[in-house]
Structure 1
Amino acid sequence: MAADRGPHGDDSPDSTDDTEITRDTALTGADTTDTGNAPADRPDPGRALAGVSPEPGVAKPDAVLTVDGVTRTFGGLTAVDVGHLEFQRGAITGLIGPNGAGKTTLFNLLTGFDRADSGSWVYDGTPLQKLPPHRVARRGVVRTFQLTKALAGMTVIENMRLGATGQRGESFLGALFTGWGAQERQITERAHELLARFKLDTKADDLAGSLSGGQRKLLEMARALMMQPKVVMLDEPMAGVNPALTQSLLGHVKSLRDEGMSVVFVEHDMDVIRDISDWVVVMAQGQVIAEGPPAALSSNQAVVDAYLGAHHDQVLEFDADGNPVGETADLVAEMEAEELGEAEHGRDARSDEEKRT
């Protein structure tokens, strides 16, 4: 029987395809065969990172995911150019930066939803750069999306069942044997337990399309835990969520860390970043420009410039008619020239792309 071929052309057999879902799993998806520390004995990630120098590309005491020389360009525009980046095991790492900084593109690369032009990334000693998304997830790295991906025409519990891996009934030979029925009942029971944890148990039989935006975020996070992950990557989990539900989501993100998972999340709300992050990575123009604990970043000049521009402290001068004068006029001319250059570059890139197609 031929091995399945992924969207990236990887046709190597996946040894995890036959993994069974058993009742020996915690509600969060942590495999109890893991001999790691119990929650009370786990090292405090904040303390582990206390002695780490706040500088881009710095080594971490216990990196779970390491990125080296990763680049991604689109039509000549560089979206990601990360020389070296490490994510600390068991910590909540916030990934921030202005719009267009490359945060979501980096997420897409690390989870197999896009292919890098160059570079590598390793999860617990296993290279991931050639794996399609489903194989990355089976190895323990899962992600959610800024725009939720719930299947609106299916019920909430059906969406949850889809998240479980190694389902015997999905293969031709496995479906011929009766064992898949018992496994499906175990999967369904686990799905109900997770829905109860995320307070969606009363919605189990409702169509996913009927959920509010915040509830869909909760569903996506709960479904990700059906994969029994070790690393959870959340792309703007608080976006579009009302304040009351935001607090619930924050609590769930913290609980993932408390139960031993490593969390990386994209967020624009600095209050959220300060509240739950052990470490923060700042991107701008595709590059990592700063790293450090949340408290250290507000005084980092590179971060201030990335968000406010290098001229944020310049006094603006205008004449009586409101026209810029002096250094302000020079700054306006400089900004207009940059915008014109970027527009022309974008047109050239689109023209080149059209010629190739």
Structure 2
Amino acid sequence: MNAFLDIRQIAKAFGGNQVLEAVDVQITRGEIVGLLGPNGSGKSTLLNVITGFTPADAGTVFFDGQRIDRLAAHRIVQTGMARTFQLPSMPTRMSVMEVAMAAATAHHGVFGTLLGTAAARTTERAARDKAAHLLNELLLTPVRDLPASALSGGQKKLLGIVCALMAEPRMLLLDEPTAGVHPNLRRDIVAALQRLNAQGMTLVIVEHDMHFIREVCTRCVVLDRGHIVASCRPDQLASNERVLQAYLGSAGAHPLEASA
């Protein structure tokens, strides 16, 4: 079976620090893959390489058969891949709805809007309708007219997902979507991601919350010091010696069980 996302021999160093070395990951369409590893293992760097924010020193990335590792980040979005960020920054003078609309403009271009054509007005109406639908799906309709900067941390992460979805991606990559989020909003995020996957979205999630990983992911890929050390089901993590060594330097304890 051909991989939907095919990462081959990716390497990245910053100065003398080799952050990624010969990383191979293949993800099939419809999976929910958790990208795990201790701090400094290379997770965020790999996410940035995949999405065009950091150039790789070596290796290739193919998405749905198209090579994307030489493309700029906005071009990668146009291929059908979008991402969220661990600490989404929201403007102080824009409402939640305006931020979602701005995401549509960022993804699809501003020239038509500047020209003020009938087609542009139709596109704007469609984008507004889509934004309203997504805000409703992610339970943000009650705050749609509030300043985006006034949202809680969890609501900002939900809005970040809305902004990514405005690009109509086929694969969504999320960077710690539940970190620092209130338990009630965490449940909303879990439900939203499960709905997206049920609708056909492929998801890659960087996350430390092992309960979340077990609840949501179908497979886990574990990085340690820039190398892939495991690719397994979530329920196999606690019995994988290489995973235990990555987190503790010893196979004698079971931190992944304790964090459930």
Q: Indicate the TM-score class for this superposition, using the shorter chain for normalisation.
A: over 0.9
**What letter is aligned with 1:240?**
G
User: For 1:203 and 1:301, how far apart are their aligned partners in 2?
Assistant: 46
Any gaps of 5 or more consecutive residues in structure 1? 1-60, 314-357
Higher percent of residues as strand: 2
Matching residue of 1:275:
215
Which residue among 92, 114, 119 is the counterpart of 2:32?
92
1:300-315 → structure 2 map (5 Å cutoff): 300-310=240-250, 312=252
**What letter is aligned with 1:291?**
S
Matching residue of 1:207:
147
Q: SS at 1:150's partner residue?
A: coil
> Does the 8 A contact of 2:23 with 2:226 survive in 1?
no
1:232-251 → structure 2 map (5 Å cutoff): 232-251=172-191
Larger-gyration structure (1/2): 1
Q: CA deviation at 1:242?
A: 0.8
> Does the 8 A contact of 1:67 with 1:82 survive in 2?
no
**What letter is aligned with 1:112?**
G
1:78-117 → structure 2 map (5 Å cutoff): 78-117=18-57
**What letter is aligned with 1:102?**
G
TM-score of the aligned structures, taking structure 2 as reference length: 0.92
User: For 1:181 and 1:258, how far apart are their aligned partners in 2?
Assistant: 32
> Does the 8 A contact of 2:112 with 2:120 survive in 1?
no
1:11-90 → structure 2 map (5 Å cutoff): 61-90=1-30
Matching residue of 1:166:
108
Any gaps of 5 or more consecutive residues in structure 2? 254-260
**What letter is aligned with 1:70?**
I
For these two proteins, the number of residue pairs brought into alignment is: 251
Q: CA deviation at 1:172?
A: 6.8
**What letter is aligned with 1:142?**
A
**What letter is aligned with 2:225?**
Q
1:309-328 → structure 2 map (5 Å cutoff): 309-310=249-250, 312=252
Q: SS at 2:69's partner residue?
A: coil
Q: Sort the Cα spacing of 1:171 and 1:96 in 2 relative to 1 into closer, same or farther, 3 A.
A: same
Q: CA RMSD in A?
A: 1.6
User: For 1:116 and 1:126, how far apart are their aligned partners in 2?
Assistant: 17
User: For 2:86 and 2:252, how far apart are their aligned partners in 1?
Assistant: 30
**What letter is aligned with 2:108?**
G
TM-score of the aligned structures, taking structure 1 as reference length: 0.68
Q: Between the two proteins, what is the percent identity of the paired residues?
A: 37
Q: Sort the Cα spacing of 1:173 and 1:260 in 2 relative to 1 into closer, same or farther, 3 A.
A: closer
Matching residue of 2:132:
192
Q: Sort the Cα spacing of 1:109 and 1:212 in 2 relative to 1 into closer, same or farther, 3 A.
A: same
1:99-178 → structure 2 map (5 Å cutoff): 99-164=39-104, 165-167=107-109, 170-171=110-111, 175=115, 177-178=117-118
**What letter is aligned with 1:261?**
M
